[in-house]
Amino acid sequence: MTQESIRTDGAKLALYLQGPEWDGVPAATIGDFSCKTPEAGLHALHQAIERVRSAGIDRIIGPMSGDTWHSYRFVSESDGSAPFLMEPTNKSHDPDVFKGAGFAPISSYFSARVPLAQTASSSLAASDAFTVEPWDGTDPEGLFRQVYHLSVEAFAQNAFYKPISESDFLAMYMPVVPMLKRELIFFARRTDGSLAGFLFGIPNYAEGPKPKAAILKTYASLERGAGRHLASHFHQSALDLGFDTAIHALIHDDNQSAERSSVEGGTVFRRYALYGLRLDG
């Protein structure tokens, strides 16, 4: 993934000219953004915008480090609680700097807390279409290869989707292997053994070595109902392990998971926004 760096007195960012499509139009992205003052940040953004314009591109998405596989989104609202593991962070003025450069929100997300004693008390009837099983703790590279291939298929129709190679995916996720807890990772398999869905959870080690929250980081399914069953198994296992809270992380507002989180008693504690700028408008 090719990037260009822009540094000014008091600000820096990375520019990716080959970003994903936005409404069917190729876009550049701006990521790794930081600024000491709004004025410095605005100056850097203006430089990036002119570079994108000179490259003949008329869409910019940010913050996004090239694609949605990497870091993207700004925190837009918060209850002030500490960031959880792998959560995007930014200074409070960063969204206003992007707005000052002409960017507007194009997608919104949230994270919610769920009391496990409440949500884990409800169980689902077994499905005839698939069974859910935890990861056995072996062959972590094989685990992430399975996750990669199902993710590519499940997420291909998502907005701002851009393919990534298996090797790049493994390079991103293999470093987290020492933090994995096999009881928080689940697969849904059809009767023929093929993969119907997965759920990747992880303790919130940002709290310290003995966290009380478990993060439902990512899940995807290709079979109707598999997502609900995977989440149910995750909640019950997290409770059995001694966690008291589940964090439903970084859910798109329009995703079916958003409604499910609310039904399960989720309380939103953080909101996020992704911004876009059309240069042809």
- Whether the predicted pLDDT of 122 surpasses 90: no
State the pLDDT at residue 47: 97
% of the chain with per-residue pLDDT over 90: 77
Confidence check: pLDDT of 123 > 80: no
Q: What is the pLDDT of residue 8?
A: 92
Residue 189: what pLDDT?
Answer: 92
* Phi and psi, residue 233, nearest 5°: -65, -40
| Mean pLDDT, residues 127-134 taken together | 90
Asked if 220 contacts 198 with a C-beta cutoff of 8 angstroms, the reply is: yes
Least confident segment among 77-91, 117-131, 152-166, 198-212: 117-131
CA 91, CA 33: separation in Å to the nearest integer?
Answer: 10
Taken in order of first residue, the domains within the chain and their CATH numbers are 4-109+273-278 (3.40.630), 115-271 (3.40.630.30)
DSSP string, the chain: ---EEEEETTEEEEEESS--EETTEE-EEEEEEEESSHHHHHHHHHHHHHHHHHTT--EEEESBSSSTTS-B-EEEEE-SPPPPTT-----TTHHHHHHHTT-EEEEEEEEEEEEHHHHTT---PPPSSEEEEE--S--HHHHHHHHHHHHHHHHTTSTT-----HHHHHHHHGGGGGG--GGGEEEEEETTS-EEEEEEEEE-GGG-SS-SEEEEEEEEESSTTHHHHHHHHHHHHHHHTT--EEEEEEEETTSHHHHHHHHTT-EEEEEEEEEEEETT-
Nearest residue to 250 via CA among 234, 272, 220: 272
- pLDDT band at residue 118, thresholds of 50, 70 and 90? confident
pLDDT for 259 equals 81
Q: Residue range 249-267: average pLDDT?
A: 86
Would you say residue 265 has pLDDT above 90? no
Question: Tens of pLDDT along 2-52?
Answer: 899 999 999 999 999 999 999 999 999 999 999 999 999 999 999 999 999
The pLDDT mean for the chain works out to: 93
| Averaged pLDDT, 244-263 | 89
Residue type at position 79: D
pLDDT of 119 reads 86
pLDDT score of 157 more than 90:
no
What pLDDT score does 93 carry? 95
At 143 the pLDDT is 86
CA 115 to CA 118: how far, in whole Å?
Answer: 6
Q: Residue 281 has what pLDDT? A: 62
* pLDDT above 70 (res 253): yes
Mean pLDDT calculated for residue range 244-262: 89
- How many residues are given for the chain? 281
